[in-house]
Amino acid sequence: MPSVDLTTLPHVPTEFGRWQPLNGPLELTAFGINSIACEPGEHFDISHDEADTGQQEAYVVISGRAEFTIGGDTIEAGPGQVVSAPDPGAVRSYRALDPGTRLVCIGAVPGPVQAFGEWITTGEG
């Protein structure tokens, strides 16, 4: 079973921040998944929308604290919180508020509604 330790996986510095691509190491192809490490005051150009791709995104705060702006709404989130950008046309961005902030970013193009958590609400499983 593939497993990744985000504390030891090398970062890839880009103009969009310091990323850790996770699809390859986790052997996943159904959706995109990456981690980004960021610090307060660190500048990278991450403001974007996904209108061209139709992709929805979710961000899981692993450590630190981040401020997300999605479609004009702003929210702060800390460890264990998940923020989503369901509208592909909404401009989204984020920035670190605490040292050592790390996010896991997940994205995919919408398809048929999936019953991934249906067993939780129905008690079947």
Instruction: Count how many domains the chain has.
Output: 1
Rounded Cα distance, 122 and 125, in Å: 8
Q: Does residue 78 sit within a domain?
A: yes
pLDDT of amino acid 1: 92
- Residue 113 above 80 pLDDT? no
Q: Is residue 4 part of a domain?
A: no
Range of the domain at 77: 12-122
This model's pTM is above 0.85: yes
Which pLDDT belongs to residue 124? 61
Task: Name the token pair of 63.
Answer: 């450590």
Interval 39-89: pLDDT, tens: 999 988 899 999 999 999 999 999 999 999 999 999 999 999 999 999 999
Whole-number pLDDT of residue 119: 66
Find out whether 65 and 98 touch, Cβ atoms under 8 Å. Answer: yes
- C-alpha distances out from residue 121 to 91, 115, 117, Å: 32, 10, 7
Q: Is it the case that residue 125 has pLDDT exceeding 60?
A: no
